A and B are shown apart, each in its own frame.
Chain A
Amino acid sequence: MTRLSRFLSAPALAICFVSSAAIAQERSAATSEVFSRYASRVIKVQVVETSSGAKASFGSGFFVTADGHIVTNYHVISSLINTPERYRAEMIEPGGATLPVTVVAFDAVNDLAVLSSGLRGRPYFEVGPSPVAQGTRLFSLGHPKDLGLSIVEGTYNGLLLHTLYPRIHLTASLNPGMSGGPTIDDAGHVIGINVSTQGNQVSFLVPVDRATDLLRGALAANAGREAPSLAQLARQLRDHQDVFLRTMFDSSTKTMELGPFRVVTQPAPFFRCWGDATRDDDLAYRKSRHRCATDDDIYLDEDQTTGTITIDHELVSTKTLNSSRFFALYTSVFSSDNSPSGLEEFVTSWKCVTRNVRADSVPMRAVLCLRRYRKLGELYDGFLKVAVLGSRDVGLVSTLGMTGVTFDNVKRLSERYLRLVSWR
């Protein structure tokens, strides 16, 4: 999934033009009406580097109160939370005027933020529950690729079934820059907030009720609330994981057979699993791989995400190699890196402990690595990797990657995971 701050590939755009041209005739009247009625409620948001004045990122946003509150995506303004001293945010009105805005509240997990502009009496969208049926025609507003305010027609296709964070599936071509803009029905009800795309007309929205909750919280506690900060971000990440990690890898976790081993698969519905195998006759060995990962992550930076759990099983076996040569292969599979990537700006280097461990009588080589987020309080990344010992011609390397979790969760998940690896 690509966030809308990045670029889409050209073919995806071409498909969009073809399909919308065919149906353009009958809809053009309504679309232009929608645009003219609601365009003034949508603005452009940009984050500027203070010292150079250069534009660091931009997106869209829309008014949601008479007091000039604006809803946009968290990822549009995230650099303001990560390094507030380096950036400032501003909005550009449809007329072209530029005004400073401040972040009032954010929800990193759902990728939303509320900004305050101080502008009163502007037309705005009422956010609230808006039931909508699959197939309903919707309109997305925003600034694709900084080309000026645009309207894109799309079709509502319901909530995604297996995601950790609720997402609406919209069949439309959303483009970078439309992030944070509203997607509305023809009566002007906000259905969701533009957030990401997979290309080929597959786009995603954050359901509007998340924005309603965030806005209500922001307005209710407006007086005594703390300013949005990294500490708040850390707390959001921690609270979020406590919920979804509580039962992960407990005794009811689904397992599957992989060669002579039994391993964890699909720990929760919001994991996506896939596999592949190398069965080349020229090779002296066979490798098969089974992986599962949470489909969604939490945005920290263009190149740094967090809040993910990944599982990676690699089975290697041979009929031709002797045990010494097979173990040279096993060693290289075990030693090859499949750890989550990280940037020095956000995390420390890994520190690892290595032991030969016996978990429920299964002997294995186990490595557990830890690194910490520099500015996110007590949050760590954990990386557990084991190689089952005891056979001369078959081996299993199993990896558990955890990002943005507490130290206690690293230990608890690692322990449960170790006990779930077994011989069939």
Chain B
Amino acid sequence: MALILELRDGRGMPTWHRIETLPLTLGRALSNDIIVDDPYADAHHARIRLDESGEIAIEDTGSVNGLRSNGSRANGKIIVGPGVEVRMGRTILRFRDVNEVVPPALVESPPASLYSPRLETTFGRSVVIGLMLAAVALVTWLGNTERSSASSVLAAVLAAAGVSFLWAAAWGVAARGADRRFHLLGHMTMISLAILIVVGYNVLNEWLTFFFPDSTIASVAFAGVFLVVLAALIAGHLSVANALSRKRRWRAGFITSATLLALILAPEMLQEDEFSDVPTFEGRLKPVPASLVPTSTVDEFLGAIGEAKDEVDEAIAK
């Protein structure tokens, strides 16, 4: 039976040594058989040898901090075998059997899949981030009515870049996987995609409410878009971090997104209409030729105010 000595340093990083020839010396000095890089270990700290009865034992060779077993300092030798743990300074020495059974290998999930293989290249990712910043710049410029709009456009682009960087950095730190990499660019790509979709949805929504001001689709669609985009964003971040299987990423995404949506919508649903003396209406106007705008007649328009009358009459009846 051969023993394996597993050393875990203060941060938990392991190294393994097969115990074949005895005795072995341990310590910080480079002349030792096993060098222990631990400032709390002596230059010559301990020795592993066969004792008189033929068992393998570890003993202190006059160190400052000694050897500790089960939390208390050991006097003299400690007999070691598979499963025994000894502390030396801040280093853990664990003795394990060579023939110890290890768990079966994990089935590797499909290669870190983003939504498209193109998004895995640095070029593809840079394009997405660039598109997002360009979209933010364009939307800001079109919404600005000052003669010189450069400064506000620049401010919006910097803000978008800054916020998405911070968001990506937070994900990078929080979801740092087994490979210990931050994947900053990947996370940036995900948040950029989400921003692009939201900006696009907004533009589409403005045009729809301009053409069809009386339809209620917009508010329903908002909840749906919110749910899907946030779920996809979370799944995307998890995929960048290479965490969980594909199915579980989406499940996590949808659960988080639905919870958040419920938290946002619940107070609104429970709350009774608050009084306001400011009318709310769809005021978006779009530059299109008048012939393309579907219009009602004056009579249809004034007929529709009957619904508003019913609502205010009902408010009085309460």
Q: How far is the CB of A402 from chain B (nearest CB, A)?
A: 13
Assess whether B142 is interfacial by the CB under 8 Å rule. yes
Contact yes or no, B277 A325, CB < 8 A? no
Q: Which of A334, A358, A392 contacts B283 (CB 8 A)?
A: A334
**Could you give, for residues 192-215 of chain B, a 1 whenever the CB lies within 8 Å of some chain A CB and a 0 otherwise?**
000000000000000000110110
Given contacts A330-B285, A370-B312, contact A355 B147 (CB under 8 A): no
Q: How far is the CB of A398 from chain B (nearest CB, A)?
A: 14
Query: Measured between alpha carbons, how far is A346 from B125 in the docked complex, in Å?
Result: 58
Q: How far is the CB of B305 from chain A (nearest CB, A)?
A: 5
Assess whether B316 is interfacial by the CB under 8 Å rule. yes
Contact yes or no, A283 B278, CB < 8 A? no
Query: Measured between alpha carbons, how far is A356 from B309 in the docked complex, in Å?
Result: 20
Contact yes or no, A334 B305, CB < 8 A? no
Query: Measured between alpha carbons, how far is A374 from B316 in the docked complex, in Å?
Result: 6
Query: Which chain A residues border B15 with CB–CB below 8 Å?
Result: none
**Could you give, for residues 357-385 of chain A, a 1 whenever the CB lies within 8 Å of some chain B CB and a 0 otherwise?**
11100010111111110100000100101
Prevailing SS type, chain A contact patch:
mixed
Contact yes or no, B142 A324, CB < 8 A? yes
Contact yes or no, B290 A414, CB < 8 A? no
**Could you give, for residues 293-313 of chain B, a 1 whenever the CB lies within 8 Å of some chain A CB and a 0 otherwise?**
111111011101101110111
Query: Which chain B residues border A351 with CB–CB below 8 Å?
Result: 307-309, 311-312
Contact yes or no, B309 A355, CB < 8 A? no
Q: Looking across the interface, which residue of chain A has its beta carbon closest to that of B300?
A: A355
Assess whether B284 is interfacial by the CB under 8 Å rule. yes
Q: Which of B287, B295, B307, B316 contacts A372 (CB 8 A)?
A: B316
Contact yes or no, B287 A348, CB < 8 A? no
Q: How far is the CB of B289 from chain A (nearest CB, A)?
A: 7
Query: Which chain B residues border A348 with CB–CB below 8 Å?
Result: 275, 312, 315-316
Contact yes or no, A368 B305, CB < 8 A? yes
Of the listed stretches A10-18, A120-128, A192-200, A335-343, name the one at the interface; the rest are far from the partner chain: A335-343
Query: Measured between alpha carbons, how far is A337 from B277 in the docked complex, in Å?
Result: 10
Query: Which chain B residues border A325 with CB–CB below 8 Å?
Result: 141-145
Within 8 A of A (CB), among B243-261: none
Q: How far is the CB of B33 from chain A (nearest CB, A)?
A: 77
Contact yes or no, A369 B284, CB < 8 A? no
Assess whether B273 is interfacial by the CB under 8 Å rule. yes
Assess whether A284 is interfacial by the CB under 8 Å rule. yes
Assess whether A50 is interfacial by the CB under 8 Å rule. no
Assess whether A350 is interfacial by the CB under 8 Å rule. yes
Assess whether B146 is interfacial by the CB under 8 Å rule. yes
Query: Which chain A residues border B280 with CB–CB below 8 Å?
Result: 350, 352
Given contacts A352-B308, A372-B315, contact A328 B142 (CB under 8 A): yes
Query: Which chain A residues border B142 with CB–CB below 8 Å?
Result: 324-325, 328
Q: How far is the CB of B76 from chain A (nearest CB, A)?
A: 85
**Could you give, for residues 201-234 of chain A, a 1 whenever the CB lies within 8 Å of some chain B CB and a 0 otherwise?**
0000000000000000000000000000000000
Q: How far is the CB of B154 from chain A (nearest CB, A)?
A: 17
Contact yes or no, A355 B304, CB < 8 A? yes
Assess whether A55 is interfacial by the CB under 8 Å rule. no
Query: Which chain B residues border A395 with CB–CB below 8 Å?
Result: 285
Q: Looking across the interface, which residue of chain B has its beta carbon closest to that of A368?
A: B305
Given contacts A285-B145, A356-B294, contact A369 B281 (CB under 8 A): yes
Contact yes or no, A414 B302, CB < 8 A? yes
Contact yes or no, A339 B287, CB < 8 A? no
Q: How far is the CB of B215 from chain A (nearest CB, A)?
A: 11
Assess whether B271 is interfacial by the CB under 8 Å rule. no
Given contacts A356-B296, A389-B285, A389-B293, contact A350 B145 (CB under 8 A): no
Contact yes or no, B281 A415, CB < 8 A? no
Q: Looking across the interface, which residue of chain A has its beta carbon closest to that of B296?
A: A355
Query: Which chain B residues border A370 with CB–CB below 8 Å?
Result: 305, 308-309, 312
Query: Measured between alpha carbons, how far is A344 from B282 in the docked complex, in Å?
Result: 23
Contact yes or no, A323 B296, CB < 8 A? no
Contact yes or no, B279 A352, CB < 8 A? yes
Contact yes or no, B301 A365, CB < 8 A? no
Assess whether B276 is interfacial by the CB under 8 Å rule. yes
Given contacts A327-B286, A348-B315, A368-B308, contact A353 B145 (CB under 8 A): no
Within 8 A of A (CB), among B203-231: 210-211, 213-214
Contact yes or no, A356 B213, CB < 8 A? yes
Assess whether A411 is interfacial by the CB under 8 Å rule. yes
Query: Which chain A residues border B316 with CB–CB below 8 Å?
Result: 348, 372, 374
Q: How far is the CB of A415 from chain B (nearest CB, A)?
A: 6
Residues of B within 8 A of A (CB): 141-147, 210-211, 213-214, 273-290, 293-298, 300-302, 304-305, 307-309, 311-313, 315-316
Residues of A within 8 A of B (CB): 282-285, 320-321, 323-332, 334-335, 337, 339-344, 347-359, 363, 365-372, 374, 380, 383, 385, 387, 389-390, 392, 395, 407, 410-411, 414-415, 418-419
13 residue pairs bridging A and B, Cβ less than 8 Å apart:
A324-B142, A339-B279, A350-B277, A350-B279, A353-B301, A355-B304, A356-B210, A356-B213, A357-B301, A368-B308, A369-B279, A389-B293, A410-B305
Given contacts A332-B145, A349-B315, A356-B294, 10 further A-B contacts (CB under 8 A): A328-B142, A334-B283, A350-B276, A351-B307, A356-B296, A358-B298, A363-B290, A372-B312, A372-B316, A387-B285
Q: What 8 pairs across the A-B complex have the smallest Cβ distances? A: A335-B283, A390-B290, A323-B287, A350-B279, A351-B308, A342-B277, A354-B213, A363-B290
